[in-house]
Amino acid sequence: MVEDDRRLAGLIAERLRGAGHEAETADNGVDGLAMSLSGRFDVVIADVMLPGLDGVTLTSTLRERGSSVAILMLTARDTVDDRVGGLRSGADDYLVKPFAFDELLARLEALARRGTDRSNGGVLTQGSLTLDPRARRVAVEGREVDLTPTEYALLRCLLEHRGRVMTRQELKEIVWDFPFDAKTKVVDLYVHYLRQKLGPAGGTIETVRGVGYAIGR
């Protein structure tokens, strides 16, 4: 856990140990980056506001250096821009302060379970569906599926955040990189396209009524 509030970091680390996990802390981004690059950890918890190196830069640096460690970002701000910024930097999930420890623990355990997907040569999987970012190849039961660049980007975004509900606004910001009007149905339309092209595997894209979409929840 990379958190400059040593008391908070210590309390959370102690509770994580009590829940059967190993936990270590760093109180600045520079030390946190070095620890995160060591390969000893399944999940990194990184606060956004850190001395030395902020959490967003820490996260993007890890990804630039090829680290596949799962990252949960903590933020005191709950705006769309803050959340999208964290996800775009390479974070797998975020949690807004203040938070309940039980929710933190549940999110960490979900991220740890998903860690094997990242370690599999970068290939993202969900059931019979696979997406290889290096080859930009999508397949269902080994059969390649031809997607447009936008369809591919949307599916990759959902798979990279597997187990987490992505709001329509987040998907618009991340996939289209443009602040569409809230009434625009572009996300729903492209999910429809994806489901059609993926066939039975398209059912893995779950609609979360009134919120957005998720895979593997």
Through-space distance between the first and last CA atoms of the chain, rounded to whole angstroms: 25
The tens digit of pLDDT for each residue in 6-40 reads 999 999 999 999 999 999 999 999 999 999 998 88
- Give all domains of the chain, ordered by start, each with its CATH number: 6-118 (3.40.50.2300), 120-215 (1.10.10.10)
Would you state the structure tokens that stand for residue 168, as one six-digit string?
A: 């329509």
Please provide the average confidence, as pLDDT, over all residues in the chain. Answer: 86
According to DSSP, the β-strands at 129-132 and 124-126 are: antiparallel
- Alpha carbon distance 140, 108 (integer Å): 29
Dist. CA 170–CA 91, nearest whole Å: 13
| Interacting residues of 96 by C-beta distance below 8 A, sequence separation 6+ | 74, 75, 76, 77, 78
Taking only the tens place, the pLDDT of each residue in 73-103 is 998 876 666 677 777 788 888 888 888 999 8
Enter the pTM of the model.
Answer: 0.60
Q: Tell me, what amino acid is at 114?
A: R
Section 93-118 average pLDDT: 79
CA distance 146 to 77: 39
**What residues contact 216, with CB distance under 8 A and at least 6 apart?**
114, 126, 162, 163, 204
> Per-residue pLDDT tens for 138-192?
999 999 999 998 899 899 889 888 888 888 888 887 787 665 555 568 899 999 9
Mapped onto helix, strand or coil, the DSSP state of residue 150 is helix
Q: What is the pLDDT of residue 178?
A: 60
Taking the C-alpha atoms of residue 129 and residue 119, their distance in angstroms, rounded to an integer, is 17
Residue 125 has pLDDT above 50, yes or no: yes
In 3D space, the residue among 149, 196, 200, 199 whose CA is nearest the CA of residue 175 turns out to be 149
